[in-house]
Amino acid sequence: MPFVLGHLWVFLVSLCLYAAESNSTIWCYSFLVNMGLNTMYLALFFMPYRKKQKDILKEILLLITLQMLSFLFLVVILWYLHVPLIFLLWIFATFLGVLALQVREQILFLKSI
């Protein structure tokens, strides 16, 4: 069941945000930004996972760097569009959860080889 937990986490957090603030767009921002970043993870990590490569450190560091830069770029755009700070904090908290799940998946992958 690899690669499912990140998408599930993003969906559940966005659903909770929708339940708490249904008239707000916080859930939409959180869902779109973090689902996009998690899909980027899936696209870049799927081939090393499929080939069962042991030497994936370079890919992992590239992936985390790319995700962080993409996240910061999106936050700057959202800040420029005057998105409230609380929205950005929720998006950041969701992103940290996604990143933690990705690191956990990568550690489990390396242990399984």
pLDDT at 73 over 90: yes
pLDDT at 64 over 90: no
pLDDT digits (tens, 9 = 90+) for 14-41: 888 888 877 778 888 889 999 998 888 8
Burial (CB count within 10 angstroms: exposed 0-12, middle 13-18, buried 19+), residue 1: exposed
Cα torsion 56, 61, 62, 63: sign: positive
Domain residue limits at 102: 4-112
Confidence band (pLDDT; 50, 70, 90) for 72? very high
Q: Are 59 and 48 in contact (CB under 8 A)?
A: yes
Q: What is the pLDDT of residue 1?
A: 61
Q: What is the pLDDT of residue 50?
A: 82
Helices (H) and strands (E) in the chain, counts: 4, 0
Q: In whole angstroms, how far apart are CA 13 and each of 8, 33, 39, 59?
A: 9, 12, 16, 27
| Cα–Cα distance measured from residue 49 to residue 87, given in angstroms and rounded to the nearest whole number | 33
User: Whole-model pTM?
Assistant: 0.82
The structural domain count of the chain equals 1
pLDDT at 54 over 80: no
